[in-house]
């Protein structure tokens, strides 16, 4: 191990990338380094909860806490209708709105980020985001790109475009998605390139908002599920972490009013998806009529649930890795944390995606035989019953999952990521 160094982690203000970075940072701290976190002002407290120093910056127009909470409620409610549409249609709605907001975060962050980095004086900067923050590249120390999203965030002409949800054997779908994405995102991309120019950076090609790090890139994706690329990734610069499972507090499964001897399911659609309470209520009613126990993550919307079936238990938050390790099957939205945690613990998943790389993860896990993809809104009760029955009885699927789980646990992604950062610090010391 090199002498203890200060490592600045700068994840996107979302729980997926944030908690992935926590997993690596926990091991870095055990190795004697000093991990600190840079975070959006509205995301404060998350990293302190794991015992890490936080440095908060403004990444959007400052608002009072109540106004910020209202903004996100309105954003979620406004996007729920778009979640009912296929990925190609979402390009001109949800995806476009997201890229406008993402570019705006980069512009805002540049106001505070240089001074924040000067205060931290990091020896290494790790960015888990989909957009370049010029100050991280220009600070003068090595910077690492962390890729929490699906592996196809690093594009290749022979693999499905990121966020498209295309199958691997659909090149016509690739072309249609890329054409629409470039057309719809073009004006936002032009604005971003003007920002890069003002910061002394070269413009990016259309559709690209970030670049690979010349030092190191960490992919959370399991390598056995990697896409078949035309251009292989440089193994010296791209390291598959095979999942990055953080340490969470133990979880004790509660007693249920019904079916205490039946298989245990876990349902979570993430902080954004939990806002679709009509869908959650419908799914809970369906599962309530089946012979299973069900843990349901309802996020900040617990007060909306007046009727809870006897075989269901709801919470606003679960220590998810500790829960998934104990369940028999999972129903989730395809977020990369849930995606990797299910594979790491060898648990079959029914993925019902609604946005971003959830579409990619659902399609890919289905076509490779490690889980089931299902459209989020058009299912019937019998479809859910059949999918859950298959998850708890399909021996071939379980054998594949067991083999992958052994592989991912042996790779030990958090340790592997921390060691890769430590090695980079050794190589660049001087």
List pLDDT tens digits, range 6-57. Answer: 999 999 988 888 888 999 999 999 999 999 999 988 888 999 999 999 999 9
Contacts of 23 (CB under 8 A, 6+ apart): 244, 245, 246, 247, 413, 414, 417
d(CA 361, CA 324): 18
Q: Residue 98 in contact with residue 87, Cβ under 8 Å?
A: no
DSSP 300: G
Inter-axis angle of helices 381-393 and 395-411, nearest 10: 60
CA 10 centroid distance within chain: 14
CA 240 centroid distance within chain: 15
Owner of token pair 């999952």? 401
d(CA 218, CA 239): 5
Phi and psi for 416 in degrees, rounded to 5? Answer: -65, -40
Q: Which of 96, 13, 15 is nearest to 273 (CA)?
A: 15
Structural domain boundaries of the chain?
A: 6-246+411-428, 264-409
Task: State whether residue 10 is helix, strand or coil.
Answer: strand
Instruction: List 262's β-bridge partners, or say none.
Output: none
List pLDDT tens digits, range 159-192. Answer: 999 999 999 999 999 999 999 999 999 999 999 9
- The residue length of the chain stands at 430
d(CA 152, CA 149): 8
Q: Digits of tens for pLDDT over the chain (430 positions)? A: 447 999 999 999 888 888 889 999 999 999 999 999 999 888 889 999 999 999 999 988 877 767 766 776 787 778 889 999 999 999 999 999 999 999 999 999 999 999 999 999 999 999 999 999 999 999 999 999 999 989 999 999 999 999 999 999 999 999 999 999 999 999 999 999 999 999 999 999 999 999 999 999 999 999 999 999 999 999 999 999 998 888 889 999 999 999 999 999 999 998 788 889 999 999 999 999 999 999 999 998 999 999 999 999 999 999 999 999 999 999 999 998 899 999 999 999 999 999 999 999 999 999 999 999 999 999 999 999 999 999 999 999 999 999 999 999 999 999 999 999 999 999 998 6
Global pTM exceeds 0.85: yes
For the domain with range 264-409, which CATH number is right: 3.40.50.2000, 2.40.40.20, 3.90.226.10, 2.170.150.70?
Answer: 3.40.50.2000
Q: Residue 237 in contact with residue 163, Cβ under 8 Å?
A: no
Owner of token pair 């599920």? 225
Q: What is the dihedral of CA 86, 88, 91, 95, to 10 degrees?
A: 50
The CATH H-level (homologous superfamily) assignment of domain 6-246+411-428 is Glycogen Phosphorylase B; (3.40.50.2000)
């Amino acid at each position: 191990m090199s002498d203890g160094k200060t490592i600045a982690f700068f994840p996107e203000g979302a729980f997926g990338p944030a908690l992935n970075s926590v997993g690596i940072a926990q091991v870095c701290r055990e190795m004697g380094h000093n991990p600190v976190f840079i975070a959006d002002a509205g995301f404060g407290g998350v990293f302190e909860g794991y015992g890490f120093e936080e440095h908060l910056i403004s990444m959007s127009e400052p608002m009072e806490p109540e106004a910020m909470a209202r903004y996100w409620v309105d954003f979620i409610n406004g996007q729920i209708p778009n979640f009912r549409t296929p990925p190609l249609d979402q390009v001109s709605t949800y995806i476009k709105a997201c890229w406008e907001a993402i570019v705006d975060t980069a512009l805002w962050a540049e106001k505070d980020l240089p001074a924040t980095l000067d205060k931290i004086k990091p020896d290494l900067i790790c960015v888990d985001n989909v957009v370049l923050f010029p100050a991280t590249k220009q600070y003068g120390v090595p910077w690492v790109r962390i890729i929490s999203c699906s592996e196809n965030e690093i594009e290749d002409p022979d693999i499905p475009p990121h966020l498209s949800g295309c199958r691997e054997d659909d090149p016509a779908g690739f072309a249609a998605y890329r054409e629409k994405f470039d057309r719809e995102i073009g004006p936002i991309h032009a604005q971003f390139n003007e920002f890069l120019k003002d910061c002394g950076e070269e413009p990016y090609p259309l559709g690209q908002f970030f670049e690979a790090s010349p030092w190191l890139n960490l992919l959370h994706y399991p390598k056995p599920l990697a896409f078949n690329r035309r251009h292989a990734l440089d193994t010296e610069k791209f390291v598959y972490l095979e999942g990055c499972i953080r340490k969470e507090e133990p979880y004790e499964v509660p007693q249920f009013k019904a079916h205490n001897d039946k298989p245990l399911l876990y349902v979570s659609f993430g902080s954004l998806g939990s806002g679709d309470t009509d869908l959650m209520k419908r799914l809970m009613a369906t599962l309530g009529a089946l012979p299973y126990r069900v843990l349901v993550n309802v996020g900040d919307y617990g007060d909306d649930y007046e009727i809870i079936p006897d075989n269901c238990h709801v919470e606003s938050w679960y220590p998810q890795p500790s829960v998934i390790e104990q369940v028999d099957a999972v129903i989730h939205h395809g977020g990369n944390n849930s995606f990797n945690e299910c594979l790491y613990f060898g648990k079959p998943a029914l993925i019902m995606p609604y946005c971003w790389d959830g579409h990619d993860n659902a399609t890919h896990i289905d076509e490779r035989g490690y889980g089931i993809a299902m459209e989020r809104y058009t299912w019937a009760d019998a479809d859910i019953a059949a999918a859950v029955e298959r998850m708890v009885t399909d021996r071939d699927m379980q054998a594949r999952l067991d083999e992958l789980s052994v592989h991912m646990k042996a790779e030990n992604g958090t340790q592997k990521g921390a060691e890769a950062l430590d090695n980079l610090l050794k190589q660049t010391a001087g």
